[in-house]
Structure 1
Amino acid sequence: MSDRFDCKNCDESLYGRKYIQVEEKPHCIPCYDRLYANTCQQCKEIIGHNAKELFYENRHYHEHCFRCFRCDRSLADEPFTSQDDGLVCSDCYCNEFSSKCVACDKTVMPGSKMLEYDGATWHEDCFVCHGCEKPIGAEAFIPDSNNYYCVPCYEGRVAPQCSHCKKALTKGGVTYKDKVWHKECFFCTGCKALLAGQPFTSQGESPYCVKCFSSLYAKKCAGCNTAITGFGDGKYISFEDRQWHQPCFKCSRCSVSLVGSGFFPDRDQILCTDCNNDD
């Protein structure tokens, strides 16, 4: 009596029947399809042992189910991509999903190198410097008035020049009297202290900090004998060849404020009306 040759799952005899070995264990065709066959992503039916099967990103398809979900063309021998959980042929993807290059107005094909900036898309070779017209690629660039420049072209052709060192000013800086400086180049002509973010004034074309300007150029208040700089002193009053801080402009005798009032000069003094009448 011959040995039995049965399906390892259902124990039915396999003599005279087709079978498939799994790990050296024979299975009848129905058991193999039920236990090991994959399910088609598209139609959700079993992909039988004798059916052609296509595989993409952990998903399985019957050959006849491997189609563009837009135009229904077979993708078995066509380039394609995926959109959500569906497959799309290149033509449909380009027509419905791809961006257009703002430089050449042609479609940016799936898988091709592209650049995106500020909501716009370019082919990599179309994103060129407005100055030298060389592709910028992955290099740094600087936008200016709807144009784009590589750093050397921007610094050499577009960027303002620092009034002190004459080098390109690409970010930050200080603007004063229609001229620009790097922050580290804008310093007091007297003591060389940096002036960016600090109160300052100028004498001619030269900037000075308050301390240097006060000691070198500011006029002295006839009342308190300190410099009138305009920084923190408010308005000042000038009469003949003398100047006063506004709070210092008061009667030399009674100290009443003379701002907005009549006054009388008396040699080095200034008097209010009452004090002048007392004389």
Structure 2
Amino acid sequence: MAEVQEATGLNQLQEAHESEQLIFSGEYTKAMSKDWHSGHFCCWQCDDSLTGQRYVLKDDHPYCIKCYEAVFANTCEDCNTIIGIDSKDLSYKDKHWHEKCFLCSKCQVSLVDKQFGSKLEKIFCGPCYDAQFATRCDGCGEIFRAGNKKMEYKARQWHEKCFCCCVCKTPIGTKSFIPRDQDIYCAACYEDKFATRCVKCNKIITSGGVTYKSEPWHRECFTCTNCDTSLAGQRFTSRDDKPYCADCFGELFAKRCTACTKPITGIGGTRFISFEDRHWHNDCFICAVCKGSLVGKGFITDGADILCPDCAKQKLM
């Protein structure tokens, strides 16, 4: 720390205890708590006498004002002149200003004893800095002032009170959240708005599920329209876009075999024969007399019966 002092000239006899020479009489100088011959107390830089002059003590060495300012004084960032010992030196990040030059780069108001910001190698008062450079909340659009807590997510930022669910407006805080497009949702609102819901019960499907005709179902909700038997993992068919188990579909909608009267469902690859308004399972399409299969063969009808050609001849003879 440099200290400005003034050397004092005295006229009296005194011994210099810490000097290598004795001062017997005449004029001498007292400075830095020591006694000096008048010609020996000089500027450390230029050797000019400091007796009766103001000087600056730097690293335990005395300097005249001119040398001190030339060697050690800082240059003002604003006016680019030396900041002399009689001026207050204000510094920030290795830069220095005269007190009168420490001004906002935008509005020129004095920044002495005021909050200020630095940007692009310049200094600004609080209002000017905020207007030009302060980041703004993605929620309300207002700037972040000193002391405001900032919530950040993927290059976006919010005031703590603005970082809330876009549906229920509850502040997220440290709770989990789900982003979608440019919006933020709490878990409950996201599930309510976007989670997959069963077309039958309209409740959220959290795990598993069945898709039928591009629509989601709970496994337990995907049942036969007629008997409510679960169809998940089972063979089924549909009518009018409604699912039915094989038994119910056969009973309700299938053609019935003329021979056994049971439904012909076609499930599992079952083949059947149709003739006029009558239908038979492949296995049931047999001659009424000899019981031989008529599938792929010629046959003759005899009332409700069908006969192979041989049995028909025998019956006519």
Q: TM-score range by the shorter chain?
A: 0.5 to 0.7
Q: CA deviation at 1:27?
A: 0.7
SS at match of 1:126: coil
Aligned match of 2:216 in 179, 204, 208? 179
Is 1:49 the counterpart of 2:85 in the alignment?
A: yes
Q: Kindly tell me: are residues 138 and 45 of structure 1, through their superposed partners in 2, closer, same or farther at Cα, counting changes over 3 Å?
A: farther
Q: Kindly tell me: are residues 168 and 28 of structure 1, through their superposed partners in 2, closer, same or farther at Cα, counting changes over 3 Å?
A: farther
Is 1:160 the counterpart of 2:195 in the alignment?
A: yes
The C-alpha deviation readout for 1:172-215, integer Å capped at 9, x for no partner, is x998432289xxx9xxxxxxxxxxxxxxxxx944389xxxxxxx
Q: CA deviation at 1:34?
A: 1.3
Distance in 2 (CA, whole Å) between partners of 1:266 and 1:128 is 74
Distance in 1 (CA, whole Å) between partners of 2:145 and 2:215 is 48
The C-alpha deviation readout for 1:91-150, integer Å capped at 9, x for no partner, is 112222234434334333356333355665422221112355332245542124653223
Q: Which runs of 4+ in 1 moved over 6 A?
A: none
Q: Kindly tell me: are residues 10 and 145 of structure 1, through their superposed partners in 2, closer, same or farther at Cα, counting changes over 3 Å?
A: closer
Q: CA deviation at 1:37?
A: 1.3
Please, what TM-score do these two structures have when normalized by structure 1? 0.55
Matches within 5 A, 1:1-279: 2=28, 3=37, 4-109=40-145, 112-117=148-153, 121-131=157-167, 133-137=169-173, 139-144=175-180, 146-151=182-187, 153-155=189-191, 157-158=192-193, 160=195, 168=206, 176=211, 177-179=214-216, 204-206=231-233
Distance in 1 (CA, whole Å) between partners of 2:151 and 2:124 is 23
Q: Which structure has the larger Rg?
A: 2
> Which AA in structure 2 matches 1:33?
E
Q: CA deviation at 1:22?
A: 1.0
The C-alpha deviation readout for 1:229-250, integer Å capped at 9, x for no partner, is xxxxxxxxx99559xxxxxxxx
> Which AA in structure 2 matches 1:43?
C
Distance in 2 (CA, whole Å) between partners of 1:6 and 1:151 is 79
Any gaps of 5 or more consecutive residues in structure 2? Answer: 1-22, 29-36, 199-203, 220-229, 236-245, 247-268, 274-294, 298-317
Across the two proteins, how many residue pairs are aligned to each other?
A: 192
Any gaps of 5 or more consecutive residues in structure 1? Answer: 186-202, 209-216, 218-237, 243-264, 268-279
Distance in 2 (CA, whole Å) between partners of 1:41 and 1:158 is 58
SS at match of 1:60: strand
Q: CA deviation at 1:65?
A: 1.7
**Any conservation in 2 of the 1:98–1:110 contact (CA below 8 Å)?**
no
SS at match of 1:5: coil
Q: CA deviation at 1:67?
A: 1.2
Q: Kindly tell me: are residues 23 and 97 of structure 1, through their superposed partners in 2, closer, same or farther at Cα, counting changes over 3 Å?
A: closer
> Which AA in structure 2 matches 1:73?
V
Please, what TM-score do these two structures have when normalized by structure 2? 0.49
**Any conservation in 1 of the 2:210–2:232 contact (CA below 8 Å)?**
no
**Any conservation in 2 of the 1:94–1:110 contact (CA below 8 Å)?**
no
> Percent of pairs identical after alignment?
34
Q: CA deviation at 1:84?
A: 1.1
